[in-house]
Amino acid sequence: MSTSWQCGRFEFDLKRPVLMGIINVTPDSFSDGGLHASTDAAVSHARKLIDEGAQILDIGGESTRPGAEPVPVKRELERVMPVLESLRHADVALSVDTCKPEVMRAALDARADIINDVTGFRQQASRNIIANHPSCGVCVMHMQGEPRTMQSSPHYDDVVSQVSRELLSSARALQTLGVAASRIALDPGFGFGKTQVHNYTLLRHMDDLVALGYPVLVGVSRKSMIGAVTGRSIDQRVAGSVAAALLAVNLGARIVRVHDVQATKDALAVWEAATFGPQEIQ
Ligand code: HH2
Q: How many domains does the chain have?
A: 1
Instruction: Check which CATH number belongs to the domain holding 126 and give it.
Output: 3.20.20.20
Closest-CA residue to 201 (of 163, 160, 235, 233) = 160
What is the whole-number distance in angstroms between the Cα of residue 64 and the centre of ligand 1? Answer: 6
Q: Is the dihedral of CA 116, 29, 62, 51 positive or negative?
A: negative
Indicate which residue of 100, 237, 257, 265 is catalytic: 257
Q: Give the range of the structural domain holding residue 192, as residue numbers without chain letter.
A: 4-280
Is there a contact between 33 and 25 (Cβ–Cβ < 8 Å)? no
What is the whole-number distance in angstroms between the Cα of residue 42 and the centre of ligand 1? Answer: 16
pLDDT-above-90 percentage for the chain: 87
pLDDT band of 278, cuts 50, 70, 90: low
Atom of ligand 1 nearest to the CA of 219: 10
Angle at CA of residue 195, ends 186 and 115, nearest 5°: 25
**Cα 198 to Cα 204: distance, rounded to the nearest angstrom:** 10
Indicate which residue of 223, 237, 254, 265 is catalytic: 223
Q: DSSP code of 216?
A: B
Kind and range of the H or E element at 159? helix 159-176
Asked if 65 is an active-site residue, the reply is no
pTM above 0.85, yes or no: yes
Say yes or no: CB of residue 64 within 6 Å of ligand 1: yes
Say yes or no: CB of residue 217 within 6 Å of ligand 1: yes
Say yes or no: CB of residue 63 within 6 Å of ligand 1: yes
**Residues sharing a CB contact under 8 Å with residue 269, sequence separation 6 or more, in sequence order:** none
Atom of ligand 1 nearest to the CA of 191: 10
pLDDT tens for 184-218 read 999 999 999 999 999 999 999 999 999 999 999 99
